[in-house]
Structure 1
């Protein structure tokens, strides 16, 4: 039986190329709206070279001042773009500003490396570790060990202190997530004791069935997670209820789902990428499909992955319908 205790949403943070302020402001308003509606978490994608949020830490610093209690997540920061020490400083600053609500999520690599590698990194970045080791260094920085020897101090006006990453936010380590889609990545994340983000894209390893592949990832993660670690798993699905939409919007939603159906039929590319079908329909139809989803039944945290390029009103209608019509049927009570 599906029992969801935590409900969050992930938004792409789109904006018009000629008016980025209005789009970013609309996304901040959506975070406020989600909090008023009673969602537990609001997550932002980090995207580069697109009209989306390119610095999740900066955006969430603003969101921390517009909200009071909703969790603020990043899904995900590609670590290849980042300096592990400087990013750790940014994240601890946001966590302090949000009073411990930050949920930073990461992935490996550096998309668009051919365009951005030389701009982001000095020197021959082709030899740099842009994978797990780079995330490992970030985690080490978050632990806040003192730099230098026991007698090493730094002097600033009015103060002498031992040097370490500042500000300190020791509990942030328990709220770090990894976006994993393969058994290799799952095993690494579990070994590090990180929380797990798994969405509507996984790698087909030994199966052509999306849910079977995702179940294997979830169970392997739980098998390898060290004792004493939080081990949260947030599962993502694209959920678009029709109930509160007008006829024209319903037709647009159905057209959106149809345009993406082909990719769900067979594994894609050499890595055999599998895509979950979008859940577009009435609330009752979506509830039935979620109850039948064996991967959803394995978790207690559900993350709605909002479609790209919808407008603010669409997102509000989707969130409202999910919160009032779908969440209660999954065991998640309506609360504000």
Structure 2
């Protein structure tokens, strides 16, 4: 039975930021942090996918490298914007990296297509109807246009899920260099669909995930139309998901920015305090962002006891909800190591979490979690 205020699964989310002229340095740092997370016994290590920024722009490519530097920790994308992806190609990449990792990969996806105005001219193109044809725009003359602008993101996710099922695309065998084969998306690994998470930013996306039996990722920006406070808004989404879930294994992971100060140096404490102060004003009331009303969560900053008190009083953590520690952009490796270690050794034991069996503290190896 789950106990409210406790955290059963704990993981991290990194962005893989890097210097303009030395991307390898930043990516190597992130790989080392994945290794540290595994050594400390965290359950999950996730990577963001960001476009037009100095961070990881291909999450599954990064996880392919991480799969060779880790042995047991679950690997996760947080999240891949489907607006720019070809569904069957993403399914192929997911399956390939999962095979390399020993079946440790979970994929988080979203319906978004960030920076669409800037990337439209570089995205996939589709033919537009000739001028005068049904569905043609005024002045259209067979030009090509950005596919992302025309694609229904939920339809893309449906196609991605279908690709993971491995159904035959034809009854006729396909001639290949390896001999005749029934054509289907390869490699096919049973159960991949069960390891797909949807990043939910609205009630629609939360309900959509629940109706299809997908797992759910929630960030630290809430839906201001659901409630006036972040905590109430996120709990409303959790309740909607659980009540409408159609499947066998409802799972929810939520992001929290956590900055413990227990073993931090004086310079680190000063940096963390300034970071939190710069972001605190936005948490006072709902704000308008990109045409929608949102509520921001306050960063968790202070001693382990102070942070644990906030976590245990957070209505989202009902004993089933998983934690993803979201690391701030641009923090250096020493700061990330201090944060990772303090959360593991000082915060998580206070909220009922126990380390993964594969941690260095036990020396044993467990089967990867789904």
Tell me what 2:27 maps to: 24
1:275 aligns with 2:278: no
Q: Secondary structure at the match of 1:170?
A: coil
Partners of 2:197 and 2:280 in 1: CA distance: 29
Which residue does 1:62 correspond to in 2?
Answer: 65
Q: Deviations over 1:2-22 (max 9, x none)?
A: 221211000111100110001
User: Secondary structure of the residue that 2:109 maps to in structure 1?
Assistant: strand
For the residue of structure 1 that corresponds to 2:253, the secondary structure is strand
Q: Secondary structure at the match of 1:156?
A: coil
Distance 1:174 1:82 in 2: 20
Alpha-carbon distance in structure 2 between the residues aligned to 1:61 and 1:86: 15
Q: Secondary structure of the residue that 1:202 maps to in structure 2?
A: strand
| Gaps in structure 1 of 5+ consecutive residues | none
Q: 1:147 aligned to 148, 156, 169, which one?
A: 169
Q: Deviations over 1:193-217 (max 9, x none)?
A: 1101012111112421111111110
Distance 2:122 2:152 in 1: 15
Aligned residues of 1:196 and 1:234 also touching (Cα < 8 A): yes
Change (3 A) 1:220 1:17: same
- Distance in 2, Cα, partners of 1:262 & 1:47: 25
Secondary structure (helix, strand or coil) at the match of 1:141 reads helix
- Higher alpha-carbon Rg: 2
Residue deviations 1:36-73 (CA, integer Å, cap 9, x gap): 01000000000011100000010000101110010000
Query: Equivalent residues in 2 for 1:183-194 (5 A)?
Result: 183-194=203-214
What is the aligned residue count? 333
Which whole-Å CA distance do the structure 2 matches of 1:127 and 1:328 have between them? 47
The aligned counterpart of 1:177 is 197
Q: Which residue of 101, 109, 132 corresponds with 2:154?
A: 132
2:120 pairs with 1:98: no
Residue 126 (structure 1) shift:
6.2
Whether 1:241 and 2:266 are equivalent positions in the alignment is no
> Structure 1 residues 164 and 327, CA, compared in 2 at 3 Å: closer, same or farther?
same
**Which of 330, 335, 346 is the equivalent residue of 1:325?**
346
Matching of residue 292 in structure 1 with residue 295 in structure 2: no
How much has 1:158 moved relative to structure 2?
3.7
Moved more, 11-20 or 121-130: 121-130
CA contact (8 A) 1:203 1:213 kept: yes
Instruction: Determine if the alignment matches structure 1 residue 7 to structure 2 residue 7.
Output: no
Shift of 1:181: 1.9
* 3-state secondary structure, aligned to 1:103: strand
1:266 aligns with 2:269: no
Partner of 1:216: 236
In structure 1, the partner of 2:124 is: 121
Cα distance in 2 for residues equivalent to 1:126 and 1:69: 36
Change (3 A) 1:30 1:126: closer
RMSD, matched Cα:
1.3
Residues of 2 paired with 1:119 and 1:174: CA distance? 32
Shift of 1:118: 2.4
Equivalents in 2 of 1:206, 1:213: separation in Å?
5
2:329 partner SS: coil
Q: Is the 8 A contact 2:225 2:294 kept in 1?
A: no
Larger deviation: 60-69 or 196-205?
196-205
Q: Which residue is 1:311 aligned to? A: 332
Quote the offset at 1:83 in angstroms.
0.6
Q: Is the 8 A contact 1:17 1:51 kept in 2?
A: yes
**1:236 CA displacement:** 1.3
- The question of whether the paired residues in 2 share the 8 Å contact of 1:45 and 1:56 is answered with yes
Kindly provide the CA deviation profile for residues 157-206 of structure 1, in whole angstroms up to 9, marking residues without a partner as x. Answer: 24111110000112111110011021111011111111010121111124
Q: Distance in 1 between matches of 2:114 and 2:296?
A: 19
Whether the 8 Å CA contact 1:235–1:299 is kept in 2: the answer is no
Label 1:64 to 1:126 Cα distance change in 2 as closer, same or farther (>3 A): closer
Instruction: Determine which structure has the larger helix proportion and give its number.
Output: 1
Q: Take 2:355 and 2:112, find their aligned partners in 1: how far apart are those partners?
A: 39
